[in-house]
Structure formats: C-alpha cells, structure tokens
Amino acid sequence: MTQPTSDRSESHMIRRTRPSPVLRAALRWLERLPASSPARCRALFTNHVDYSDLTPTQYEAAYTWLGENSLLEDPDSSAAAGERVFRAVLASSGAPWLQDADILVRGPDELPEDALRAADALDISENEAYEQVSAVWGKVDTKARALIGSAGELALVALLTEATDARVEHVAAYSDGFGYDIAVHARRHPLHIEAKSTVRRGRLAFYLSRHEYETMRRDPAWQLVTVQLTQDHEIAAVASVAAEWIRAQVPQDRGPFGRWEACRLDVSPDAVVPGIPQLAPLLRPGAAGLLLSGP
C-alpha cells in the first residue's frame, strides 16, 4: 500500500475512519505525552528504531489531528489512549451510519467495516469497540436532539403565531416543568403542544419523559406534535400522534420499587395524523397549510 505523503491526506484518512499508520502514530503520541514533552516525543519517534516504521510526516499529521480533536488538552486522562483515539475517530468521521447506530449496530457482530478496521489498527477488541460506538452515538444523539428540538420548537411557534390570533407562548424557553413546550392560549380551544422534531426521513423516533406522559394523562389539551425539518431547519411537515397510541406503547411499572422515567418510541406510519386537527377552530382564514393538511 502506498503511504500518503501529505498531512492533509493523512488527516483525511483519519476522518473517514480508514485504517492508517496515522492511527498508530496518534496512539503513540497519547501514550508518550504524559511522561515527555512534544519535542522529546518527536526526537524519540524520529531517531529510535522502535518507532521507525512510521514516517515523521505521519507523526506530525497525527499530532495535528489530536490537537484538532482536543485530545492534547488532557494527556493524563484516565481513559486508555486507544479508546480516546477510537472515540475521536468516530466522532469526527461523519460516518452516515453513526446517527442510526442505535438500530444499525445492536451488538459487536454488527459493527460496520470502517469501525472494525479502526479498532484493529488501535488493538481494540470488538466488544470494546461496540461499547465505544454506543458511547459516541449517545453523545452525538443527545447533542443533535437538543439542537434540532430547539429549532423545531422555534419554527413551530413562528408558524402558529402567523396562523392564529390566539396567544402562542413558548413555555419551554423558560421552564421544562410544564410537561409540554408550547401553549396556545384560547378560552374555548386551548392547546398544549409537546413538540418532537427530526430531520430524518423514513424514521420517526422520539423520547418521552415520565413527566410528559403524566401531563398527557391528566391534561385534555395536551397534544404530541411531530415537526419534520429540512436540513436548513425549516418546517417541511407537521403531524400529530394520538394519546391513545402513546398509552399503548409506554413501559409499565411492574413493582413498587421500579419506575420508568423516560422511554423511546418508534412511531409507526399509521399512528400519525397529518397536521394538528385541534387547531382548526383557531386558524385565520386561508392559514391552514401545514398545520391542518401536513406536507
């Protein structure tokens, strides 16, 4: 195999999680830095026969990549060097399977080939690699959900404000204690919307907290609304999910010492109703659009 000769090409290989001498170089940097300065490490890597299997260019590309991914900020981390490099490789790779790793990778035997090759280069077992994939997915998914959730709420508030004369209040902007995100204040037809947003097509999954569920049970104005966003975070579709369907899916407490606090629901297509039918009495003439008919 021909070795890349530029720092840019080496760094590109890391970002795509391909097996590379640069992965081994990054691992060596993290193993040596707690006890040595960067200058002493460079001298060691350049002059000692045990490290001569890699080129100075590969060591420098690895050092640059470690800095770009904040792995040089805490060289004394208690986590193993190989695990830290592997997690950073996954997080920076842009691998399309990572956002759906919770359903695509359900065990070590389902690890994608690129993750397996990176794990092999770093001498990480398949079980360890699976654990790291799960951890990275959880962190990426949590961050993405927060960003997309906020964008969806704001976009829905703007759409509701334009389409109705009722006062629309984004209650989640100042408190998460309501059990819903948006209040549409109308004397005869109040509506309390719990918004769940996504940019994915073909898969509708969301997390429901116990507090949101209990609010749904006691509040007849509560409605779960899904917001389909474009990649630019503009609303592409709005739909509703019936409380009856949610009740049938949530876990059950089976004993006095156990209680579920949150669950993930994967919504089937037949459980979704286009638009928000409850809004019909509140909408201005000609303002229905997505709010009643869906896409």
Q: Which CATH number is 160's domain given?
A: 3.40.1350
In the prediction, which pLDDT does 49 show?
93
3-state secondary structure (DSSP) of residue 203: coil
| pTM exceeds cut of 0.85 | no
Greatest alpha-carbon span in the chain: 82
pLDDT in tens, 252-276: 999 999 999 999 999 988 899 999 9
- Specify the number of domains making up the chain: 2
pLDDT in tens, 200-252: 877 788 899 999 999 999 999 999 999 999 988 899 999 999 999 999 999 99
Q: What is the mean pLDDT of the chain?
A: 87
Residue range 86-101: mean pLDDT, rounded: 85
In the prediction, which pLDDT does 294 show?
56
Residue 131 maps to a domain:
no
Whether 192 contacts 186, CB under 8 Å: no
Identify whether residues 100 and 173 lie together within a single domain: no
Identify whether residues 89 and 157 lie together within a single domain: no
Domain containing 13: what range? Answer: 7-124
From the list 212, 211, 188, the residue with the least C-alpha distance to 281 is 188
Identify whether residues 173 and 106 lie together within a single domain: no
More confident residue, 92 or 43: 43
pLDDT at 13 over 60: no
Identify whether residues 75 and 179 lie together within a single domain: no
Residue 2 maps to a domain:
no
Residue 130 maps to a domain:
no
pLDDT at 4 over 50: no
